[in-house]
Structure formats: C-alpha cells, structure tokens
Amino acid sequence: MTNNDNWDDIFRPQPSDEPVSPEAAGASAPATDDAPQSRRAARESEGRRGAKTGKPGRPPRRRKRWPWVVLGILSLLLGIGAAGAWYVWTNYEPQVRELLGWQLPNDYEGSGNGTEVLVTIYPGEIGSDVATTLVEQGVTMTFQSFYSLLLADPSIQFVPGTFRLQEQMSAQSALDALLDPANKVELSATIREGLRAGEVIASLSAGTGIAIEDYEAAIADPSIYGVPAEAPNIEGYLFPATYRFEPNTTAEDHIRTLVTETFRRLDAAGVAEADRHVVLTKASLIQREARIAEDFYRVSRVIENRLEAGWRLEFDSASQYGAGETGSVWSSGDALGADNPYNTYVITGLPIGPIAAPGDVAIDAVMNPADGPWFFFVTVNLATGETVFSETLAQHERGVAQLRAWCRASEENRSYCA
C-alpha cells in the first residue's frame, strides 16, 4: 500500500473464479475476524446471529400510543357532530330538506298518537274548510294530504257535528274517523210532552251533565229568547222533543234551542206571532188534560165552548199548577180555593200563561178543535185514558161517579187515583 488510491481495494470484494449460486449472490458475505466490517453490515450480522442462536439481539422498538389518542378525539368529535345534527334536524327539518333538495313528507302514518282532539264541522262548511281545520288542530300534517282524498272521491259528504279524533293521524284515518257516526260526540236529552219548566230543565241537566243551577239561571229572563212580554215565565215555551247538543255548548244555548223550536212549530202550524201566547196557553191545558190523541181535539172544543159562553174553565190541571201541586186526579181544597191567576175555578177565561210544554198534537188541536156541544169531560179509566164528554152537568156527574167506581174496583186502580 503505497497510496490512498488503493485503500478502497482492501474493502472491495475481489472477483472469484468459482461460480456463485443465486442465493449466495444476493447475500452479503459473512465477516471474518481478519476482515473489517462496515457498521451497517455489523448490525445486520449481529441480528442474524441472534435469530439463529435464539439469543436476544437488539431490543424491540416500543409501540407508540398516539393512534389511540387520535381515535378517541375523532370519536368525541363524531359524537358532538351527531348531537348537533340531531338538534338541527329536529328543529329545522323543513329548512334542511329544502337546502338539500329532499322531498318533505306530507302525511303522518297510522291512526294517531293517542292524544284526543275534538274536531267540529259546522253547517255549511266545505271540504277545504275541514282540511284546514284538521291541520290547524294538529290532526293531519298538511292540507293537501287530506284534500287530495276529497278530490279523488267527490261523493264524500260530511255531517255537521263534533267528532273524536287524535293528533298526528294519517289523512285516510282522519277521513275514516269523520265519516264514522260512532266518533260523533253529542249531549242529548229527551223532553216529554206535558212537563213543567222545572221538570224540563231537570231532564236537560240529566242528559247533558250541566248543573241544574245553570239552567235555572238561563231561564230567569225569558225575554232574551224572544218570549213575549205577556208571558209571566218561560213555561210552555220549551218544546218537548229529543235534542242533541254539541260539546262546549251552554245551558243558555240549550234553552235558546228549545224556545226556537217552539216558535218553529208554531209557525208550521200556522200560528200568527201575535197569537203565540194564547195558543200555547190553550195547548198546555189540552196537553195536561187529554189522554188519547183524538180527545185532544174534543178538549179543545170544550175550552172554546166555555170561553164563548163566558164560563169558568174549572180545569184541575191549571188550579194545581197555580197552587204548586204536582197534580193528581183530584185537586185539593187549597188549590181550588187559591187566589192566583192560574186558578180556573176562580178566574174567568184562560190562566195567565201556559202550565206545561205542549207538543204538536196539542197545538194542532187548538187550531182545529173538533165539532161538538160538550162543556164537560172526565176520564173514567185512568189506565186506558177512556174519557167521557158531556153536554150537561148531570151527564158529567154520572161520569164522575163512573170514575170513582173505577178507582174502588181494585188495588191497581187505586194506585192511579192517589
């Protein structure tokens, strides 16, 4: 070695005349004690020796923990993002759908969420009115979902009234509910002919659940319903019939309905407005005295004959009303002798006003009394309503004797005569 130019030759592998296998050609030659090694070759050689002998070589490198930290941070961010997305969707779904171009649903599914809603259809309303009401009350999701069903079937007709539905119903289930009479909510009461005003409002209270005190307050001033000033009270102006009232109506609403119905029936019978009070007064007497429909017209004739002759009517029903008695076949001495404008044994002419609620037959009997000479009548069989009409007092007294005999005939008969 005479110069540095030849120094590299010491470490450069020398060519060999021996053929080399592909395996040997691709591997580094093992170092010997006499041949120096590069640092890289020494490290590789040490590692191979350790692998072959089972002795440990270089200690394994420690795993880094940063990927788990990054994963946790990403999970937290995703959770926050999901919560934010849920909030935005819940509160701004229509805006989000519009922004993304997604089609909005226009109908709920199913028959409701269990929360009851009372939906009222008023007379004269059309399909679009009903569709609007359903949306406003939270029953259907959109106007179009319901209205399109009506357009598809023009034969659909709604009955005015109040119906039980639920919130968040599909349009079809809402339509089915409105067309089902079982879902209609009504308050009802039946008023029988011949009831006094106190009995009428008791029947109304029992049927509607409204306190009787509310009805008493409602009838305190009959003039607000158009009852004429000559009427001392509302007696006779509460027409007997079966009524159905909408929920949320008041006692005053119900009384107004009955009075209005009375006027409607009087108009239908051809009664002039000026004659309403007189007709109702006569009709109420007929209603309380007659038992059989055909006898209504005969009792009406007795009234007219007595009034024309200037006789007192002497109707027990009116005298008992004036005395505050509930009424039976026989009037008490107090009732017959009482000084009041209803005691027809004392006054001449009609009592001051009606004594009960007359029906259509009684009103018609006033307008169309039967022809006959009768001035008296008495019911001789209280079970069947058989009544004897007489022209003279002697004939009438024989009829009264017949009634007394009937009352004594049996225990059952006596129960009618008490």
In this structure, CATH architecture of domain 116-184: 2-Layer Sandwich (3.30)
Q: Domain spans of the chain?
A: 116-184, 187-274, 289-417
In this structure, how many other beta carbons lie within 10 angstroms of the beta carbon of residue 122? Answer: 13
Distance, in Å, from the CA atom of 94 to the CA atom of 91, rounded to the nearest integer, reads 9
Structure confidence at residue 61 (pLDDT): 59
**What is the DSSP-derived secondary structure letter of residue 12?**
S
User: 196-202 — which CB contacts under 8 Å span 24+ positions?
Assistant: 196/235, 196/321, 196/355, 196/356, 196/357, 197/233, 197/234, 197/235, 197/238, 197/357, 200/238, 200/240, 200/258, 200/357, 201/238, 201/255
**For residues 222 and 277, is the Cβ–Cβ distance under 8 A?**
no
Structure confidence at residue 417 (pLDDT): 87
Nearest CA among 3, 66, 65, 12 for reference residue 36: 12
Beta strands 161-166; 116-121: pairing state: antiparallel
Nearest CA among 390, 417, 391, 388 for reference residue 402: 388
User: 148-152 — which CB contacts under 8 Å span 24+ positions?
Assistant: 149/175, 150/175
**What is the DSSP-derived secondary structure letter of residue 313?**
-
Beta bridge partner(s), residue 242: 190
Distance, in Å, from the CA atom of 279 to the CA atom of 266, rounded to the nearest integer, reads 9
Beta strands 242-245; 187-190: pairing state: antiparallel
Distance, in Å, from the CA atom of 231 to the CA atom of 263, rounded to the nearest integer, reads 14
Nearest CA among 148, 146, 152 for reference residue 176: 146
Structure confidence at residue 86 (pLDDT): 66
Helical residues (DSSP H) of 310-384, grouped into ranges: 316-323, 333-337, 360-367
**Under 8 Å CB-to-CB from 16, ≥6 apart: which residues?**
none
Structure confidence at residue 248 (pLDDT): 83
Q: Where are the beta strands (DSSP E) in 191-300?
A: 242-245
- For the record, the structure tokens of 7 come out as 């120094």
In this structure, how many other beta carbons lie within 10 angstroms of the beta carbon of residue 389? Answer: 20
Nearest CA among 323, 359, 327 for reference residue 342: 323
261-282 burial: b if 16+ Cβ within 10 Å, else e: bbbebbeeeebeeeebbbbbbb
Q: How far is CA 258 from CA 164, 262, 305, 340, 377, in A?
A: 26, 6, 32, 28, 32
HSE toward the beta carbon, residue 184, CA cutoff 13 A? 15
Distance, in Å, from the CA atom of 55 to the CA atom of 66, rounded to the nearest integer, reads 31
10-residue block means of pLDDT along the chain (418 residues)?
44 43 41 49 53 51 58 63 66 63 78 93 92 96 95 94 94 96 91 96 94 97 97 98 91 98 98 97 97 96 98 94 80 78 95 98 98 96 95 96 95 89
Helix, strand, or coil here: 324?
A: coil
Structure confidence at residue 3 (pLDDT): 46
